[in-house]
Structure 1
Amino acid sequence: MDWFVSDLHMFSRRSIYHEHADEILARASEARVFVLGGDIVDFSWTTLPSVEATIDAAMQWLSDLVEANPNCQFHYLLGNHDCHSDFVEQLGKVTESHANLFWEPYFLQIGSAVMLHGDAVHLKERNNLALAAARTSKHQFKQPEYRHQIYQMAIRSRLHAVVGKLANPKRIVAGRIWDYLSNEQVDLDSAVRNVYFGHTHVPMQDYAFRGVHFHNGGASISGLKFNMLPMQLDGELHPRLHPRT
């Protein structure tokens, strides 16, 4: 079985990764392909002393995961919360030292399946250039404590769950992902059957849009639903890699 997981937001106060850690590790141990679909780590809302300490912890976690499962092919896709320049640099180094680890900044296609984080859905211009610009302007610094407190109040009131559902209707989200992938020359009309993504924190299971099925596992955040997504992969196992620009 192949698996997709995103939006763990590890090291942030809102994350409940610890509740799902055993399942994630168990699935990785049996997987052929395991995709980490972005926002696995959260540098902006980390509770560790610094972004640097968070990068070190993230690299240790990732290295341990990959080394413990040498027969699994891992793919790390960047999201808006873990696209930190120093983290990306370290991610490149870890990838070079592990034959079964790959990383992509935007999206990954294996056969008729496409995997991505999905933060392009909230951009006016939905393409890689706009995505890169948006990511470099946000989430590069640790948030001050007072903002952590405000965020916790929103989570305790479950406001984040309500806002997330209202702001991310399935048809609109699927349509925007379609637009983004089309802008990046992905052949959705004939070559793609399934799209797996994260970011919105709103679960989506087998939602059909223009003949393509969209899947979202939610988020490992207090008050939200979270699921790992089994993927239907076909074609060549090694993916068509996209330029890291």
Structure 2
Amino acid sequence: MSTQDVLEHLQRLGMSGYEAKAYVALVGAGRPVNGYEVAKRSGVPRSTVYETLGKLVARGAAYEVRGSSDATEYLPLPPESLLDRMRREFDGSVSALRSALPRVAAAPEGHLIHNLKDAQAMLDRAGDVVAGARRDLFVSIWPQEMRALRGQVEEAAGRDVEVSVVSFGAEPFDGPGNVYEHRYSAPEAVLEEFRYRLIVVVGDRREAVVGGFGDGAAWGVYTADPAVALMAAEFVRQDIALQILADRVGAAELDRLFATEPELLRLLRRR
């Protein structure tokens, strides 16, 4: 990880850009240093370096010490101690807000639905759905997207969420939960027909992400409409049922049935 990456992560945890630079400079010095040296090492302007160091001292990320010439010098809180403190503060804030925010939130006028216009937005929102699941989780997914969500799906299974996954492609998901490899129809046939990789993620049958990845683009929707989420869950459940039937009676028998039953032919007819 580069120094720039470190600075960006510190800012995500609440430090300003100058504070992050000054803290990294203190850590890198390995000894007490004065404000002039912090400015020289960090690039923080000399006109603001003492104000910045004061903010680090106020948040407990640095300490003032007296140097040999009785001048004020600064030492950083060790990185491990800083990160432990940040984690405690963050966890405490999340715990407090978990109970406080719902009390101030207005009831929505309608069920939330919004578009997702790129791959990262899709995966981030799908991760939110997985993280929010408490009872059951239905997922239909290809390996490329599962690699991004695997850890969160495994965490959901670890907190006793009933996980059901339809796994497409050459790298079937081998994690916990009820996993069904999509073999009927063959994944390559599905991809040829639809021209994109479908993703469906449904948490507790109350919220869902549905979309597609293909040709270097991604698109889809998030919805908290329980009717739409229920339909998305039923889509995955019926696909699972089809995989089980294909395993039990054989793909050839299902092909024969689909080819000879008029009602199935009507429903499956392509326009």
Pairwise TM-score range, normalised by the shorter structure:
under 0.3
Q: TM-score, normalised by structure 2?
A: 0.25
Normalized per residue, the structure richer in helix is: 2
Query: Which one has the largest radius of gyration?
Result: 2
